[in-house]
Chains A and B, each alone.
Chain A
């Protein structure tokens, strides 16, 4: 299991308590963005397209703590921008650890090795390092040669110092599942606790708008990647959410389960869409027209989304909130998902040994050839 028992216990008791008290809308993970500034300039990034005066702004530790205290989620993910560029990130992390929050600090790791001595290993703190593939693939993806080597150096140093470390990768159209599976071997060999992965989402502010897979294509890709797993692979995600990506389960989006807070306020309705901001989590819950979002609403902006910020919360709530879900979660944790059809699907993908992992030159590429 990639997630420690103590964390599972905290989350499961939290979910059960909410269920027993009849609370239907509650947060599981707070997406806390303390700044949008980044030290990478990835082409097509949908998160950092702001004027310089916005990129210079950052949340204070007090603003971070107030948001965490108000919403009460047991887990806090710190994306950005690059959180390690925040001058008070250590104070923010220590304040969250003092509040016994399980933190996933999402970093490109360019600054990780240098800043590690400022942090103290804790079961509450995980460095979630952005790594999109092997050296060639990752460097191409983040538009920086040498980025992979620096990130891996940071990962190894963090593991050596006793920190919890995961990697996180985002996959776009044209991803080669063979390459991803080889990458999983490579990552687990670095001693990380587990892998986090996600299909890309069509951020409205992203410069490119034709790189994002629809649901049918996401399911085929993830079925090819995640079936017939090797026993060494560990995933720091809900097994039920991974089954959702593979097309074995269906959930409806729960955007309030992973709310986002940043310099603008509480983002409406979710981490991915920017349709305005609320001043408090309570206001977000009470004044957002939730029925306008998610697949049942028919909203085109939600059409391709299978991202964890909308769909991992219902998977976790299902896993800890029902006997059927719990059994599925336990079974998924230990299953290798043997599937001969998926193996055939995998073998039908062309291997792109000479091409980047994120090989997205045209709209009509590999995956269409795998229609079965």
Chain B
């Protein structure tokens, strides 16, 4: 079975040896073409899963760099909103799908380069070099 399977039967689930997992696309820097409503909806779904900030350019010309964490879809684009946090405002904000003219996956993908193999490689190199107290440290928040 692969991740492309859309639905599993209970028998398939119970027999699974390894989970298929999610295929992550390299979205950092991506500017989707928004030629149709469907394009916009698909791009916003990817923005929701993206592990970094996205810059939204509104039809008014305003640019908002934000972490998009939620969407509420209505019958039309005007009835649908995305919710986001910006780096400077403490409160949740929202904007209608209909106001969005452009999206850019402008922020750093915060999971990039954090694979288990990266740690194992770094650990082995440091160990071989005689280093003590080997550790990965959280990135600075400033």
Contacts and interface: CB of A to CB of B under 8 A. Distances in A.
Given A43-B119, A145-B132, A298-B9, A50 B17 contact: no
A345 interface: no
A361 B121 CA distance: 11
Contacts of B112: 207
B16 A215 contact: yes
Nearest to B118: A43
A361 B110 CA distance: 23
A44 B22 contact: no
B18 A51 contact: no
Q: By DSSP majority rule, is chain B's interface helix, strand, loop, or mixed?
A: loop
A293 B78 CA distance: 28
Given A143-B136, A264-B70, A206 B111 contact: yes
A134 interface: no
Contacts of B67: 50-51, 53-54
Interface stretch (A90-98, A190-198, A222-230, A299-307): A299-307
A182 B112 CA distance: 35
Size band of the A side of the interface? 35 or more
Given A40-B138, A304-B16, A53 B116 contact: no
B96 interface: no
Give the residue among B20, B52, B140 with the most A Cβ atoms within 10 A. B20
A37 B142 CA distance: 13
A291 to B, nearest CB: 13
Contacts of A215: 13-16
Interface residues of B, number: 61
Contacts of B129: none
B135 A43 contact: no
A165 B17 CA distance: 33
A99 interface: no
A211 B22 contact: no
Contacts of A315: none
A208 interface: yes
B18 A212 contact: yes
B49 A204 contact: yes
Contacts of A363: 18
Contacts of A39: 138
Contacts of B138: 37-41, 48
A130 to B, nearest CB: 15
A202 B133 contact: no
B23 interface: yes
Q: By DSSP majority rule, is chain A's interface helix, strand, loop, or mixed?
A: loop
B18 A207 contact: no
Given A51-B52, A277-B83, A295 B17 contact: no
Contacts of A145: 132-135
Interface in A44-88: 44-45, 48-57
A277 B136 CA distance: 31
Contacts of A121: none
B19 A303 contact: yes
A216 B8 CA distance: 14
Given A37-B141, A44-B115, A300-B5, A205 B133 contact: no
A101 B120 CA distance: 41
A332 interface: no
A287 B64 CA distance: 29
Interface of B: 3, 5-10, 12-24, 48-49, 51-53, 67, 69-72, 83, 85-88, 90, 92, 107-108, 110-116, 118-120, 123, 132-142
Q: Which 5 A-B pairs have the closest CB atoms?
A: A214-B16, A209-B21, A298-B7, A304-B19, A43-B119
Given A53-B85, A212-B21, 9 more contacts: A37-B141, A41-B138, A51-B87, A143-B135, A207-B112, A207-B116, A210-B21, A277-B83, A296-B10
17 contacts: A44-B114, A49-B114, A51-B52, A52-B87, A52-B139, A54-B67, A144-B136, A208-B116, A209-B23, A264-B69, A264-B92, A265-B70, A274-B49, A277-B83, A299-B8, A300-B5, A304-B18
